[in-house]
Structure 1
Amino acid sequence: MGHGGDVVQELTVDHNEVKEYFGQLRTATDGKRRRELADLLTIELVRHSVAEEQYLYPAIRKHLDGGDRIADKEIADHSRVEELLKELEKLDPSGAEFVSRVDELRTEVLAHIKDEEENLFPALRHNCRQSELDHLGDSIRRAKKLSPTRPHPGSPSTPPANKLLAPGIGLVDRARDLVTGRGKGA
């Protein structure tokens, strides 16, 4: 959940974890294991997205030329992924539709990761002082600890509303996860 380092290092490690979950999902044949991996992937993607929306994208708006356009595009990408995650929750992990939805999700997420790592992160490094990048890394780590663990497509994706609501939603999600054992399949 928290890896250390500046914002780019933190988020890149998250990206690598997400890629690993997709790889494991691709080779999993047992429905129970697919559900466990999909839950772990969902938890990671939701925490990551919420933290980016709370801290990374406001920094993008502030520090990059065309930052509003870039942040809006990134948030739209997150919305699409969140819808796919919500749909995935409802599907039988043994079915072909589940596999198809995971493939669709994988395509969306990997394109988003590639864009961030090849364009957004280098631009951020170029336009921000290292102290700001370090501070953003700390903020991202704190946000992920309190973030929801389930997709909530209708919840706000921009400050201040997302910063106010996410911790409460996260608390409820983590309580549900504790009761059900969700997210323990790693």
Structure 2
Amino acid sequence: MGHGGDVIAELTTDHREVEDLFEQLANAAPGSERRKHVADALTIERVRHSVAEEEHLYPAVRDHLDGGEALADKEISDHAGVEKLLKDLEQHESSDPDFDRLVAKLKTEVTAHVQDEENNLFPRLRDSVHPYVLESLGDKVREAKKTAPTRPHPAAPSTPPANKLLAPGLGLVDRARDYVTGRGR
């Protein structure tokens, strides 16, 4: 979290970290405590990333790209599906047979979303948005990730202004729960 660079570099680095976490999940022993720990880390990173995109990237997509409304709506819809899967995964122990099914489905959906962003959205942003704006968005995304929730909240709003108002409070509650339970360490 917080890598530096413009918004595209920041989010692309997040994508590589999530890919690494999926690899760690694949290499962890089935049913192991390590597998649950990695799934929690994946959830934390994915939720922070999604919240930051919804707060800052997608409003910029709406403002700067032709067809940006539809594109942002599609990306937010993708996030909603992933968030529901993360919520389901959170409810299962790594020894539960549904755990592996949920991880496989999650990986499929996240991989498709990442490929779409990196092959479609990011090149369009790079071509259409001034580098200064991309740098500023990178800073905003990094700041948003610091206060973002760490647990999935599928019923929470995903568009401004409500998401910008609620996310820091949800993030505070999530980080307190994580501290008490040891999750994410």
TM-score above 0.5: yes
Q: Report the residue type matching 1:156 in the other structure.
A: P
**Distance across 1 between alignment mates of 2:97 and 2:27:** 14
Residues 1:48 and 2:49 are matched in the alignment: yes
Residues 1:14 and 2:14 are matched in the alignment: yes
TM-superposed CA distance for 1:31, in Å, is 2.2
**Distance across 1 between alignment mates of 2:120 and 2:102:** 27
Aligned-pair Cα RMSD in Å: 0.6
Q: Report the residue type matching 1:183 in the other structure.
A: G
Q: Unaligned regions of 5+ residues in structure 2, if any?
A: none
TM-superposed CA distance for 1:94, in Å, is 1.4
TM-superposed CA distance for 1:96, in Å, is 2.3
Counterpart of 1:165 in structure 2 is 166
Deviations 1:10-47 (A, max 9, x none): 00000000000000101111421111000000000000
Residues 1:66 and 2:67 are matched in the alignment: yes
Q: Report the residue type matching 2:13 in the other structure.
A: V
TM-superposed CA distance for 1:97, in Å, is 1.2
SS in 1 for 2:165: helix
Counterpart of 1:117 in structure 2 is 118
Deviations 1:75-133 (A, max 9, x none): 00000000000000111211221011100000000000000000100000000000000
Counterpart of 1:39 in structure 2 is 40
**Distance across 1 between alignment mates of 2:96 and 2:144:** 34
TM-superposed CA distance for 1:159, in Å, is 0.3
Provide runs of 4+ in structure 1 moved above 4 Å.
Answer: none
Alignment of 1:134-149 (within 5 A): 134-149=135-150
Residues 1:5 and 2:37 are matched in the alignment: no
SS in 2 for 1:121: helix
Counterpart of 2:26 in structure 1 is 26
TM-superposed CA distance for 1:60, in Å, is 0.3
Q: Report the residue type matching 1:12 in the other structure.
A: T
Counterpart of 1:89 in structure 2 is 90
**Distance across 1 between alignment mates of 2:25 and 2:95:** 12
TM-score (norm 2): 0.98
SS in 2 for 1:116: helix
**Distance across 1 between alignment mates of 2:165 and 2:153:** 15
SS in 1 for 2:184: coil
**Distance across 1 between alignment mates of 2:26 and 2:100:** 8
TM-score (norm 1): 0.98
Q: For this pair of structures, how many residues does the alignment match?
A: 184
SS in 2 for 1:153: coil
Q: Report the residue type matching 2:90 in the other structure.
A: E
